[in-house]
Structure 1
């Protein structure tokens, strides 16, 4: 999905064995830094979300592994992603009038085609936490009898990463107060998510996928809204409060239209063991990572240059099946 954030043409200037490669992106506001060929650079903003990233490469290969630190992404906020850029040197086009050689003529017969993108990122963080209102118990009176109240209590919790005990970015979107009701011989535990409407994510940007080892049924998911927030609640059942002494695993699916992100985040919940007490130690949300296997570079000859000559090349990138190989990894909430 990174492909749409980068121009398919890169400008490459070859001089004294160095390939100055300029990539153009329409997602500059999402890129904190990008690393390629051992260099880490930030974008130069040209206008709006547009910008450029410049790398000085030495003897670049046809396949260049890259990594991104992305930020400013609604809900997700910060992410770390990896990808492969495929440079199609054979399709390089020499820019007319770009030769400025003084002695030897350089043979600029090939070009590089980087594909890049900044649609993702590391870890979701946001600033839209809200508090869950205490449930109200309604008592109805009919003649001399009254309906029994449903035993209800609350528990504080913390959302942790899936593979460490540090807080997940999702923690800021959960209200961190669970509403627990005694129903028959089990307990129903309700969780709530709230995020600001001005994030422009829509009313269903967060969807629960699993909780406590089971898939979340659509019948227990409820979407709502207040003046400033979109909300989502869902619940799961436990046989006793002893179950909440353990860290509860779960996962949520997050959609961020602006960054064309649609991914599932593993998380965990650590509950306080004191009824109506302040949240206990922070615990658990998870993330997944998909390793990216760089394609084996081929032996296409790179453009060469003499010691005193300069040449500019225009490198055209093609779609994946047409020669532009772009692999976008999912390396979310990586353990530090």
Structure 2
């Protein structure tokens, strides 16, 4: 009996020790802030949503927040150097827009009550070149244990908490104006003194005379019939040539040099179910714009009666966007009465040397495009910010 009692005491002692060790080494839930009244500088990091990994957008924010504690209320000021991209930010049920301090710098103020170490946030981003507007989420991680109290802030502050300011700024994107370069009609050599040059002259003439027409089109989002932000940067007039027994459809992208995106910010990835070959992609420029053209083939105009799926890769260096976006093309079914001279010249760049056919391009019926809905609110692909997620959006 005595021996059993001793064993019981030993067992209880071991259980207490293990419980103590387990409690000491186990992962504890993040504590809430518990700071006295005063002003503090608190380390803060932007993380991907639902992750402990740092968001690629972290560099858009100061790594410390200015916090004033007054009787349990934490007036928290976060500073960003990406205020030109942020329409609004929501944290702890409060929404605030950046108050511009200088250039692209701005501050956002939130009133928090004994906040946790991690606080989910969401952003409405706008003015992202080639993408426009998008909405993303992330998490701010506050290191309250490393908070540094500012000298002279020991006395209880009687400052009234600052209410977050909601900006009425219209987060609409600025639409770059696409300017088309004018084509110059090449001058043919009219000399006929050398018979050996005759075949070359005939070849050029047949190349120019390949039947050419145009079709208007609209660029739609990859998952809906709303206009894609890419619709602003495609010229929306396809140049179509009859080559042998198929038709070559040429598309063009044009964007302002003032956006400072570089000459190859847009690259086609797929079109009509096929990967775009580099041989059909051509980059160029005008005095104000960068341009990119590429083409694909269809067997007949019946193909263009359907929605053509595609995708483009967009790079926005200043917003750290480097991702692929799905898009779709809806073509008009009415051809112009006469082929445009500029279209004929531009399309000759992609013509085949076998163009001896004089077949007229078929005319198809009209199709009303008024049923296309106006573009919806997105906020990517900018981002651009690149904020984690599948497209490196906020995570």
TM > 0.5: yes
The equivalent of 2:216 in structure 1 is 156
The correspondence of residues 69-148 of structure 1 with structure 2, limited to 5 A, is 69-101=124-156, 126-131=175-180, 142=198, 147=206
- Cα deviations by residue, 1:6-31 (Å, 9 ceiling, x for unpaired): 01111122223222111111112222
**1:27 counterpart = 2:86:** no
The equivalent of 2:68 in structure 1 is 13
Residues 135, 270 of structure 1: alpha-carbon distance in 2 compared, 3 angstrom cutoff: farther
The equivalent of 1:109 in structure 2 is none
The equivalent of 1:52 in structure 2 is 107
**More deviation in 55-64 or 236-245?**
55-64
| Structure 1 segments unaligned to the other structure (5+ residues) | 103-121, 291-325
Q: CA deviation at 1:90?
A: 2.8
Residues 124, 183 of structure 1: alpha-carbon distance in 2 compared, 3 angstrom cutoff: farther
Q: CA deviation at 1:328?
A: 3.6
What SS does the corresponding residue of 1:234 show, helix, strand or coil?
A: strand
The equivalent of 1:271 in structure 2 is 331
The equivalent of 1:281 in structure 2 is 369
Q: How many residues align?
A: 279
Q: CA deviation at 1:188?
A: 1.1
TM superposition score normalised by structure 1? 0.72
- Looking at structure 2, the residues matched to 204 and 126 of structure 1 have their Cα atoms a distance apart, in angstroms, of 19
TM superposition score normalised by structure 2? 0.62
- Looking at structure 1, the residues matched to 255 and 367 of structure 2 have their Cα atoms a distance apart, in angstroms, of 20
Identify the match of residue 196 of structure 1 among 249, 252, 256. 256
- Cα deviations by residue, 1:195-239 (Å, 9 ceiling, x for unpaired): 111222111111111111222111110000111111100011112
Identify the match of residue 230 of structure 1 among 277, 282, 290. 290
Residues 206, 186 of structure 1: alpha-carbon distance in 2 compared, 3 angstrom cutoff: same
The correspondence of residues 56-67 of structure 1 with structure 2, limited to 5 A, is 56-67=111-122
The correspondence of residues 204-223 of structure 1 with structure 2, limited to 5 A, is 204-223=264-283
- Looking at structure 2, the residues matched to 169 and 125 of structure 1 have their Cα atoms a distance apart, in angstroms, of 11
Higher Cα Rg, which structure: 2
- Looking at structure 2, the residues matched to 129 and 57 of structure 1 have their Cα atoms a distance apart, in angstroms, of 46
**1:257 counterpart = 2:306:** no
- Looking at structure 2, the residues matched to 234 and 172 of structure 1 have their Cα atoms a distance apart, in angstroms, of 17
- Looking at structure 2, the residues matched to 76 and 166 of structure 1 have their Cα atoms a distance apart, in angstroms, of 14
Residues 127, 209 of structure 1: alpha-carbon distance in 2 compared, 3 angstrom cutoff: same
Identify the match of residue 93 of structure 2 among 38, 42, 51. 38
What SS does the corresponding residue of 2:227 show, helix, strand or coil?
A: coil
- Looking at structure 2, the residues matched to 136 and 152 of structure 1 have their Cα atoms a distance apart, in angstroms, of 15
What SS does the corresponding residue of 2:261 show, helix, strand or coil?
A: coil
Structure with the higher fraction of residues in helix conformation: 2
Alpha-carbon RMSD across the aligned residues, in angstroms, is 3.5
The equivalent of 1:176 in structure 2 is 236
- Cα deviations by residue, 1:153-190 (Å, 9 ceiling, x for unpaired): 11110011111111111111111000111222221111
Residues 132, 214 of structure 1: alpha-carbon distance in 2 compared, 3 angstrom cutoff: farther
Residues 229, 179 of structure 1: alpha-carbon distance in 2 compared, 3 angstrom cutoff: same
